Amino acid sequence: MTTLTFTHITKSYPKRDTPVLDDFLLDVQSGELVSLLGPSGIGKSTLLKLIAGIERPDAGDIRFDGESVLSTAPNQREAVFMFQKAYLFPFLNVGENIAFGLKVKGFSTKERLIKVAEMLDLIGLPGIEKRPPNELSGGEQQRVALARSLVIRPKVLLLDEPFNSLDRPVRLSLQEAVRNIQRELGITTLLVTHDLDEAMAMSDRMALMMGGKVAAIDKPQRLFQKPPCVETAKFVGVKLFIEGVASSGTLVSAEWGKLKIEDEQKVGRSIFAIRPEHIRIQKEKCENALAGVVKNCVYRGTQIEMKIALGERVLRAHIPAKNEIMPAEEPVQVILPKEHLFAVN
């Protein structure tokens, strides 16, 4: 069990005006799975490379259990990668692939056979020791790659978009398998992904990276329902932001009029937000109702995605799939329930 700490990490690359990571701070608890999200090029993979020792930081420290690893050689760091491709050795069979790291560490043939069999059980592919990797499906190859990484019981597991090249059913089953195995072995893990669903399904905490730092970090449910800042809110699918002046339970906005709010803490100029699935569409007027006209409805099976015109503005609402699909130009009331309006920074 290992804690992972980044203290004030700065990392620049030549030919870039600004550092990729700039005074970056993060604490990962022992056995925790933290996902790193953010736009492409924000420095997610760089962070993994720094942990593994493939890159060096310009400043700051990386610590496993409080001990700096910066002077430890990459092959001694006990941080293993799983990539989008399995990169199995084609000239070795599955068992030999998994046993490779054990052989380097000096385990006997008998010990290697036992550990390989244990790992194959763990990844749900018992008895395939003798198969060549090229006879396995993409998902099976990834499971073997995971077994090869974990058989040496590393301190830290680094997952760099490992499910990207797989089709959806295989991806979902592998996500579940990796998460279960990671939990069972208690391996501290960082997952780089651009897939919000994947991050939410797998993580103890999700970290959104922006401008070389962690912009927000929290449990998936909290980050999704109550993102702390506008950038994070946009990243998790919030589309409506209302700027106004808050005072004792009311938000007065030049654009949207007067709205009731529950956040009594917020006073003065503020931005409030609401998730598209918390917006209600109905015929009757009630508190926080705005008159609009249906522009477009798309049925998605799990929800109906609506575009509603309110004068010049267009607002998106996701309503439960059991509702009727409304025709275009139908007049409706758009309700922004006060319990779902939250303040963002």
DSSP code for 51: H
Residue 277, both tokens: 């699935």
Q: Of the listed pieces 36-44, 168-176, 213-221, 238-246, which binds ligand ADP according to CB under 6 A?
A: 36-44
How many CB atoms neighbour CB 276 within 10 A? 17
9 binds ligand ADP (CB under 6 A): no
46 binds ligand ADP (CB under 6 A): yes
Closer residue to ligand ADP, CB minimum distance, 83 or 107: 83
- Considering only residues 8, 13, 221, 313, which one is a binding residue for ligand ADP as defined by CB under 6 A? 13
18 binds ligand ADP (CB under 6 A): no
- Considering only residues 20, 271, 281, 334, which one is a binding residue for ligand ADP as defined by CB under 6 A? 20
Q: Of the listed pieces 37-45, 124-132, 133-141, 329-337, which binds ligand ADP according to CB under 6 A?
A: 37-45
Closer residue to ligand ADP, CB minimum distance, 39 or 320: 39
- Considering only residues 19, 43, 220, 244, which one is a binding residue for ligand ADP as defined by CB under 6 A? 43
CB of 277 to ligand ADP, least distance (A): 28
- β-sheet with 4-11: strand ranges across: 21-28, 4-11, 59-64, 67-68
Q: Concatenated DSSP letters for 133-196? A: GGGS-HHHHHHHHHHHHHTT--SEEEEESTTTTS-HHHHHHHHHHHHHHHHHHT-EEEEE-S-H
DSSP code for 229: S
71 binds ligand ADP (CB under 6 A): no
Residue whose C-alpha is closest to residue 49's, from 17, 79, 87: 79
Sign of CA dihedral 89, 92, 94, 98: negative
Say if CB 260 and CB 232 are below 8 A apart: no
- Considering only residues 40, 71, 75, 134, which one is a binding residue for ligand ADP as defined by CB under 6 A? 40
CB of 44 to ligand ADP, least distance (A): 4
Q: For residues 287 and 323, what is the distance between their CA atoms, to the nearest angstrom?
A: 21
CB of 14 to ligand ADP, least distance (A): 6
Q: Which helix (H) or strand (E) holds 217?
A: strand 213-218
Question: In this structure, which long-range contacts are made by residues 308-311, counting pairs with CB atoms below 8 Å and at least 24 apart in sequence?
Answer: 308/281, 308/332, 308/334, 310/334
Q: Of the listed pieces 35-43, 266-274, 285-293, 330-338, which binds ligand ADP according to CB under 6 A?
A: 35-43
Q: For residues 10 and 303, what is the distance between their CA atoms, to the nearest angstrom?
A: 43
How many CB atoms neighbour CB 134 within 10 A? 8
Q: Of the listed pieces 39-47, 68-76, 120-128, 325-333, which binds ligand ADP according to CB under 6 A?
A: 39-47
Closer residue to ligand ADP, CB minimum distance, 116 or 158: 158
- Considering only residues 35, 44, 136, 202, which one is a binding residue for ligand ADP as defined by CB under 6 A? 44
Closer residue to ligand ADP, CB minimum distance, 43 or 227: 43
CB of 108 to ligand ADP, least distance (A): 40
CB of 76 to ligand ADP, least distance (A): 22
- Considering only residues 26, 42, 119, 297, which one is a binding residue for ligand ADP as defined by CB under 6 A? 42
CB of 198 to ligand ADP, least distance (A): 15
- 3-class DSSP state of 67: strand
Which stretches of the chain are DSSP H helices? Answer: 44-52, 94-104, 109-122, 138-150, 168-185, 196-202, 220-225, 230-235
- Considering only residues 18, 41, 312, 329, which one is a binding residue for ligand ADP as defined by CB under 6 A? 41
- Binding footprint of ligand ADP on the chain (CB under 6 A): 13, 20, 38, 40-46
